Structure formats: C-alpha cells, structure tokens
A and B are shown apart, each in its own frame.
Chain A
Amino acid sequence: MDKFLNLLVAGTALGSIYALVALGFVVVFKSTGTINFAHGGFVLLGAYLTYNYSVTWDLPFIVAMLMAMATMAILAVILERLVLRKLVGQPAFTVIMVTLGLLILIQQVQQSIWSTEVLLDDPWGTDQWELGGVVITQVRFFTVLFAAIVVLGFFLFFRFSAWGVAMRAAAIDQEAALAQGISVARVFAISWAIAGVVAVVAGVMLGADSASVNSTLSFSALRAFPAMILGGLDSPLGAIVGGVVIGVTEVMTTGYIEPNAEWLGQGFHSVMPFVVMIAILVLKPTGLFGSRAVERV
C-alpha cells in the first residue's frame, strides 16, 4: 500500500507537469484551431531563461521566473504576429508544419546560446517530508503547488475577466465574436502569450523533475500530447485531468508493469503514454471532455 501511495504522489507530480504543458497546447488550439508544436520550444526556452536570470544573473528565483514569463510572453506574441498571423485561413497541415519549423529553430537557437545542460540550483530546497510511509519531496510539493496556482489563475481569468470571456466567445464562433466587437487578432495574441507564460512554469518543473535543464526538454514536452488527447484537444479541464491520469499511469508502469514484464524493455514507462494515447484515439477520438465535430461519412 505504501508503494502504491508513493507512486501515486510521484505520478501526480509528474502529471501536473504534463497538465501544465498540455494546457499551453490547449489554449492555443482552442482559440486558433492548430496544434502549436513550437510550444515544446517555449517550454525549453522558458527553463533556460529562468536559469539565465536566476543563476547567471543571480536574481531571486521568483523574480527570475516572472522575468522569464514576461520574456516568453513577448516572444510568443511576436512569433504569432510575424509568422502565424500570415497563415490564418490556411489548411491545418500548413500551420502545423510552420510550427514544427519554429520548434526546430527555437531548439537550435537554445543550443547555440546555452550548449550544455544546466542546473537550477534547487531553489525549492532538497528536503522531504514523511507522512505515514509516504515520502513527499519538496520538489514534488512545489511542482503540484505551482501547477495548482497556474491552473487556478487560468480558470479565474477565463471565467471572469473580460478577455477570458472574449477568448471563449472567439473559440465558439470567430465571426460572431468579431460582430460583437471582439478583436479576434488580440485574442490570438493573448492565447499565445498565455501559452508562453505557462510554458515557463512547465519548463522549470520539467527541469526539476529530470534533475537538469537540457536540450531534450522540448521532446519531453511533446510527451504531454497524450494528456491533451486524453482530455480532448480543446478542453482546458481535460488537459488537467488528462495530464494527471497520464502521469500516474506512467509512474505506475514503472512500479508495477516494468518489473513483471521485462520483455517490454527498459524505459517502457516513457512510451506508455503514447500507447495509452493510441488506445484512446481508437476508442474515443474526442477524448474525455472534447467537443465532437459533427461529420457523417
């Protein structure tokens, strides 16, 4: 039972990271209708920028993270304005491929600026608490806490702020939203900025989870796809639930499936999310909370 609870804690922590990454994908998908592969690059850059501000420039960690968020938000808006805006109305294929191009560019820019893996110097401390056999490390505690804060802020913004309402309106019907005086262009910009901000938190947490910030973070971020698919591409709530479910599944795979099935190979847990994703897509392509596109063939 202790083993199960420990794995559950670890899985929830990992899952909240996936949830954060997936949230970034979903925000952009919901308002613009495209999967933004460049988001993997945002996660990567966010982590390195935080490192740059906090370790290289020696600023307090929270300040560094806020500055990284501001930088990423600006960068995301610029990219949207310069590149993605020109593709409004183009087929999904074109837009996806452009975001893949951006992903490659961002990755190589990161490699050129910081060519090595770096450490964030454990700003959250290395202590751990024990609650009746269940070990909770500070990293995991803060991961879940940060994720919860971001998610809560996100939902409050969407529910109550004027821009949140505008974004929901534009997501339902762009033309109707335009007719009501909502600037859809600004909605796009805001959703990209939000994605940039969320990516910083996700990147830092992903870096903490894998013990160092390195260039593979953007691919780790792509492992959040299963979470997004499970939840349904256009549902923020789905991204959170999907993230936690996938995180727990992955950790449970390490704990229970891998020791009993060696033929699956080393590190099977890292592909487990994709196996789950393919199963979901076959059984229920719209995910748990996704809206269904009506089509009869």
Chain B
Amino acid sequence: MATDDTALRLLPTRFSRVSIGLVVAVGVLVPFVVSGDFWMTVLVSAGIFAMGAVGLNVLTGFTGQVSLGHAFFLGCGAYTAAYLGAARGWPLPLWLLAAGVIGGVIGGIVGPFALRLKGNYLVVVTLGLVFIGIHIFENWDRVTGGTNGTSTSQAELSLGFTDFRSFSIPGKDFSELQGLYYLVWILAGLFVLVSANIVRSRPGRALQAVRDRDVAAEVVGISLPRYKIGAFVISSSMAAMAGAMLGVQQQFVGPTSWNIFLSIQYVAIIIVGGVGMVSGAVLGALFLGPLPEIVEKYSDKLPFLYEVKGEGGIVSIAAFNEMLFGALLIVFLLFEPRGLAALWLRAKARFRTARSTP
C-alpha cells in the first residue's frame, strides 16, 4: 500500500482521511458539549499556541533554523491587533492580514541574518531580537502604549455575515469564548493545511534539504537565500497572526509578555509534540499549551503548591508551571527527541511488524 507517492499526497490513506474527518468533526462539536468558560479558555489558548507552533515548525522543524525570536513576532502581531484592530477599528480580515504582512516583512528583514549565521549564532541573534523588541514595545508609546500597555477589547471580530463575539446558528447561540474557539481553530486548521502543503511539495523538500545538509542542497541547485528567508517570512507571519489572536484573547497587550520564556515555551511545544511534523506542533500545543491553566485549576489537589507565600507548600503555582516546561523540554530531548507524535509512529511500526510475522 505504501507506494512512493504517499509522501506527495495530503491524505495518503483511507485511514488518514477518516481520522482527519473525525478530528474535524469532534472539533466542530466541542462547543455544543463544552460550555464552561474554563475549558473553553483552555481550548482557545491551545488553538493560539497551535497557530504559533505550526509557524515555528516551518522554520525549526522543516528548515532546521533554531529561533528564540518567536516571542518578538508574536508581540508584533499583538500590537498590530491592538493598534489597527482596536484603536483604528479595522475589520477582522484586514487587521489579521495586516498582522501577517507586518510579521512577514519583519521576518524578511531578519532572514538575511540567518543566512550568514547558523546554529549557536542564530540562537544568540534571535535572542537579541527579543530584548530589542521589548525595548521598542516599551518605548514606542504612540502605538504600543509604552509600559502601560494597550487594550484590544475593542477589536472587531466580525466577518460580515457573522460576528465571532456573538456567534449563532439557528437553534443555538454561542458565547464569546465559543466564537473565539471557532475563529482560532479555523485559523489553526488553515495554518496546518498551508504547512502540510508546503512540506509535501517541492519547496518543502528544498527546505528539508537545507535542514539536513545545506552545502549539499546548494550543490543540487537549491537557493539557500531564497528558502531560508522564505521560511523566516512564513514562520514569522504565522507567529504574528497567532500573536494578534493572543492579544485579542487577553484583551490587553503589555510589553513584558513578549520575553524569552514565551519563545522557549514555543520551542518546548514543538519539541514535546514532535519536531518536523505538522501534527506534532498541534499535539504539543494541545498538551503543553493548556498545562499552566490546568495546574492552576487543580492546584489545591497538589499539596506542594501554594498560591500565596506562607500558605504551606514548597513552590508557587507560577514557578511550578515554568519548571514543568523546563523539565518536559529536557526529558523529551533526552528520552524521546521525536516527541509525542513519534509515540504514534512507534505504535504503528510495532503493529506492522506484529502483523507481518506469521
């Protein structure tokens, strides 16, 4: 069954078509079953993480360029949503697209640096980008509101025929969070489709060749500038759109949220999910994205956690959450570098061998 062209098809087998259909159906039906604000919030933030992680995966997973600058691009998007969407009152498709364009343009400016640098150096430069970004966000008062931040609660969320803030179909009205859930996951789905199409086509193979052996890639005629910068543009454009949605979800954008920890969180998501696999980025986002909120909700069940110092317990909830990210990052890199997605591949391989041995 597994012929050579399976890698070229979006959904190669009947099994994959059925399972994708099931996942989409479950995704559409979730708001009919889940109405509690807590779980809706969790799913919305997971969706935003998925958008950004799919973007980072194009750069890090496919092209092998390690970036710690993701937080900066997310920030650019969030401020675009605040400035164009909330302050200027642009409609949803326009400010979202503007965020993507701005992210892409800045990514295109940063991209050439990546051409000269690789590995260690690129990590350091993109880290510098985060520091410079926070400085700009803190000081460009007119657009960013300076250290006080700026509000996004006025941002338009309607799409002509429907408003995601008060979304309804005949017989059912959805809450604002449920509307946001649909919007965010539709976008995440689009990103998944875009990056799955990139990876199975010629540019995708070029990117992977750059990742695996850049010298050899150049020799067979792949233009390194074109593909490295291209990967940067796509990745940062997706990041900026994710940032725009994050800004809208939080209703407020402040300068210090776009720090190196946020970048590390995204890197952790794609590593835990499975680097270089589109499904990995989504899995990682579903697993790691909501973790802080879930830990906080169930913190009273965990005796070693405290919310206010002096209540007993050893570590605060916030500290424990960051520790979890650090620990999961280390544990996965040491023991399962291919991430959660690999667990599935491994199970499949075992099933195959069990079936083929009589």
Contacts and interface: CB of A to CB of B under 8 A. Distances in A.
Interface stretch (A42-50, A67-75, A121-129, A273-281): A273-281
B197 interface: no
Interface centre among B135, B140, B214 (most CB of A within 10 A): B135
Contact of A112 (B120, B127, B319, B329): B319
Nearest to A104: B326
A101 B333 contact: yes
Interface string B111-155: 001001101110111011101100110111000000000000000
Contacts of A265: 135-136, 138-140
B215 A83 contact: no
Contacts of A277: 124-125, 128
Given A271-B132, A274-B132, A225 B323 contact: no
A108 B113 contact: no
Contact of A94 (B113, B268, B337): B337
A233 B117 CA distance: 13
Contact of A102 (B117, B136, B326): B326
Interface string A139-182: 00000000000000000000000000000000000000000000
A268 B132 CA distance: 9
Interface in A194-236: 219, 222-223, 225-226, 229, 233
Interface in A92-112: 92-94, 96-98, 100-105, 107-109, 111-112
Interface stretch (B164-172, B294-302, B309-317): B309-317
Contact of B327 (A101, A233, A275): A101
B66 interface: yes
B215 A274 contact: no
Interface string A69-92: 000000000000001001100101
Give the bracket for the number of chain B residues in contact with chain A.
35 or more
A16 to B, nearest CB: 21
Contacts of B268: 101
Contacts of A98: 329-330, 333-334
Interface in A243-297: 264-268, 270-271, 274-275, 277-278, 281-282, 285, 295-297
Nearest to A95: B333
B307 interface: no
B224 interface: yes
Given A92-B120, A111-B319, A105 B135 contact: no
14 contacts: A87-B333, A92-B119, A92-B120, A102-B330, A104-B261, A104-B326, A107-B322, A109-B323, A112-B314, A233-B120, A265-B140, A271-B135, A277-B125, A297-B224
